[in-house]
Amino acid sequence: MSFFRKSNEEIVLRYASGIQSEIYGEDHFLLEFDSSFFEDEFVLKKTFKPCMPSLLHAYIEHSLVLNTQEVLCECGDVVRDDIADELRLFDIPLRELNTFSDEDSYERYLSAVYCENVPKKLTPDIFEVLFNRRTIMKKFNETIASQIQKLSYARWNEYLTSDGVMLRCSYWPEGLKRALFRREQGHCAICLRDLRNLIANDEAYQIDHIIPIKIGGSNDPTNFQILCSECNKTKGGNGTDTSSFYSPLFK
């Protein structure tokens, strides 16, 4: 695998913007946030450990598939050329419209080819755009938390404590630590204190659940940030503080 993936940046940014709007519940050209996605317990089960691909990867794929099916169903001939153009950008060979007996069959074919190929090509890049903003991750995890709070202890006692919150994960995969350090640029996500010396010596810094376990937070990789010990202590078991501050590239 090459270190730098090729991507069609314009498409990635457009979809990332659409999915961000879904997460914030804003009106835009795509569908509204599909909370029913989180009612699937097998989807939620993914969040019991900090595994990649994350729940956000699953949601992005779900959203791309659902939106394409919906838009083809509602707008048909208005959008099918755009969808075919997008497929060609990814070098996916396509049959022409005149090889089908009717337009509905052609649109079903486009939808199937799109859903089979495009989400897996775009999802890693869309994930990176969204993961880079902690405030988007916080909003996403607030929605996950509202679904976790609905889970029954009797059904999920392998994963939940008796008060219905998720068991705390104490193991952080190296890949997750590396990703968080890169995003926070070695600084505390709340006060921006420079932690690079502490991190280098594996001293006191904290990997924090943005939405705490106690109020429905999960162990999905999207629910973590790096804090200094003081900010972690102040935030406590109920706080959901994060920030949209980042260490500036130009100082």
Q: Of 104 and 194, which has the nearer Cβ to Zn ion?
A: 194
CA distance 231 to 213: 17
By CB under 5 A, residue 226 contacts Zn ion: no
Q: Does 167 bind Zn ion (CB under 5 A)?
A: no
Cα distance between residue 157 and residue 87, in whole Å: 44
Scanning 92-100, 146-154, 160-168, 229-237 for contacts with Zn ion by CB under 5 A, the matching segment is: 229-237
With binding defined as CB under 5 A, does residue 176 bind Zn ion?
Answer: no
> Whose Cβ is closer to Zn ion: residue 64's or residue 228's?
228
Q: Do residues 123 and 64 lie in contact, with contact meaning Cβ atoms separated by under 8 Å? A: yes
Burial 103-136 (b: 16+ CB within 10 A, else e): eeebbebbbebbbeebbebbbebbbebbbebbeb
List 191, 233, 236, 245, residue binding Zn ion (CB under 5 A): 191
Tokens in use for 15? 């979809």
Give the residue with the Cβ less far from Zn ion, 36 or 201. 201
How does 5-27 read in b/e, with b if 16+ C-beta sit within 10 Å? Answer: eebeeebbeebbebbbbbbeeee
Taking CB under 5 A as the criterion, the residue among 205, 231, 235, 242 binding Zn ion is: 231
Count of positions on this chain that bind Zn ion (CB under 5 A): 6
Q: Is 195 in the site for Zn ion (CB under 5 A)?
A: no
We find the least distance from the C-beta atom of residue 234 to Zn ion, in angstroms, to be 8
- Residues found near Zn ion in the complex (CB under 5 A): 188, 190-191, 193, 228, 231
